[in-house]
A and B are shown apart, each in its own frame.
Chain A
Amino acid sequence: MKYNKEKREIISDKEISELDKFVLEFITILEKHIDYVIISGYISILLGRARATEDVDVFIKKISLEKFSEFYEDVKRAGFWCLNAEKTKEVFSYIEDGLAIRFAKQGQAIPNFEVKFPKRQIDEGTFEDFITVILSQGKIKISSLERQIAFKRYYLKSDKDIEDAVHIEELFKEDIDYDKINKLKQIVETIED
């Protein structure tokens, strides 16, 4: 696994897991319609952490109902269903209200994709400094390593999140921008919710 900091790319020759296949299938449809960046736990798994997960969190850029509807029809045709509602307007109303909507393969509940709009300014920044992970079977856009570490260490803070942060730090310690983590830390520590 090689990280090119300047290009903001990680090249991995890993064997694709069933979870990676699920992610690649979903984002191949998603990116036809909406810009996205994957956040949270799946990133550390994609980068080698030996644990499982129920969901894959993703930010999508804010879009209209019409644009969302095109994506929703496409994803349903590909065999996914929304766990929160059936009707397009109802599903869209949830995400528009700042809530997350989940998609899984038909007949299954996990793994699922947890899709949401960025709420805060710091969330919007996820689209500015994302990294592309290049696998043998496709590309996946993930949030920057510094954002991952800052959110997990100073906002989420569960044992699992701290362990995810340690994994990423240990793996890329020569390339991580610790000043950036400290700046993000100051912001995430002010988040209330």
Chain B
Amino acid sequence: MKRKFLKPGKNNKEDRINFIKFWVQYIKTHSDKEWSRQQNIVINSQIKS
């Protein structure tokens, strides 16, 4: 599979939106287990701290 790259945004707002679209592509092209393992690092760090 050809690797997709993240286009940097011209400002913070555009960069965040570009990342969200990039992340959605990641979700669509990887298993639920694979993306959720990464997502849970963000979520669980808030709950446990």
Chain A residues within CB distance 8 Å of chain B:
1, 12-15, 17-19, 22, 45, 48-52, 110-111, 159, 163, 166-167, 170-171
Residue of A nearest to B16 (CB): A163
Question: Residue B37 at the A interface, CB < 8 A?
Answer: yes
Closest to A45 in B: B43
Q: A50-B38, A166-B20, A170-B21 are in contact. Are A15 and B33 (CB under 8 A)?
A: yes
Enumerate chain A residues within 8 angstroms of B40, measured Cβ to Cβ.
15, 17-18
B24 at interface by CB-CB < 8 Å: yes
Known contacts A52-B46, A159-B13, A171-B28; A14 and B33 CB within 8 A of each other = yes
Instruction: Let me know if A15 and B17 touch, CB within 8 A.
Output: no
Is B42 an interface residue when CB atoms closer than 8 A count as contact?
yes
How many residue pairs, one in A and one in B, have C-beta atoms under 8 Å apart?
Answer: 73
A-contacting residues of B (Cβ < 8 Å)?
13, 16-17, 20-21, 23-24, 27-28, 31-33, 35-40, 42-48
| 23 residue pairs bridging A and B, Cβ less than 8 Å apart | A1-B32, A14-B32, A14-B33, A14-B39, A15-B36, A17-B43, A17-B47, A18-B47, A19-B44, A19-B46, A19-B47, A48-B24, A49-B23, A50-B23, A51-B42, A52-B46, A159-B13, A159-B16, A166-B20, A167-B20, A170-B21, A170-B24, A171-B27
CB-defined contacts of A12 to chain B, threshold 8 Å: 32
Nearest CB of A to B37, in Å: 6
The verdict on A48 contacting B42 (CB below 8 Å), with A19-B47, A159-B16, A171-B28 known, is no
Q: A17, A51, A166, A171: which contacts B17 (Cβ < 8 A)?
A: A166
Pairs A-B, 8 closest by C-beta atoms: A14-B36, A52-B46, A13-B32, A170-B24, A18-B47, A17-B43, A15-B36, A14-B32
- Per the bound structure, the CA–CA distance linking A147 and B48 in Å amounts to 31
From residue B39, how far is it (CB to closest CB) to chain A in Å? Answer: 5
